[in-house]
Amino acid sequence: MEIFAAFHEYLKLVDAYVLPSIHLLLTEYCKYTTDGKVCAYPCFLPEDAISEEPKNGHIDRNLAIPLEDIYQGWEKAGQEVYGAGAAPAIVTRCYHHIDGALFYIVSIPYMTFALITMGLPESSRCAATADCAV
């Protein structure tokens, strides 16, 4: 989650100066994080995929806290309290304020071409620059 937040902050600060390939790499990582993080929530996993006795933490399928340290193989994972901040941290970076609109939801840090397609004015474009309220 910290990397996701850092990439968003980095793109806000250096958007105009970063190589397009780096920009694409970071935005694709953020897009994957928003789509892939849901797979760590116990309510979306099959019963037999969750350990009865986790290696660390606790597991309650009713809590909106992702499983931490999901390993390959037979390692056991658990829920840890700091994981509870994952959903709010992701959501706050996916809602963008746009002048003349209520809000715009995106799963990547910038959506310049989509905003152009929508015909919004230049001042409304949120391209992860320092003036963008993300």
The tokens describing 95, both together, are 């809602």
Regarding pTM above 0.85, the answer is no
Would you state the torsion angle of the CA atoms of residues 99, 89, 21, 96, taken in this order, to the nearest 10 degrees? -10
| Domain total in the chain | 1
Q: pLDDT tens for residues 107-134?
A: 555 444 444 444 444 444 444 333 333 3
Which are the contacts of 116, defined by CB distance < 8 A and separation ≥ 6? 125
Q: Which residue has the higher pLDDT, 112 or 7?
A: 7
- Domain containing 127 equals 1-131
pLDDT reported for residue 96: 64
Predicted confidence (pLDDT) per residue in 60-115, tens digit = 888 878 877 665 655 666 677 777 787 788 777 776 666 776 666 665 554 444 44
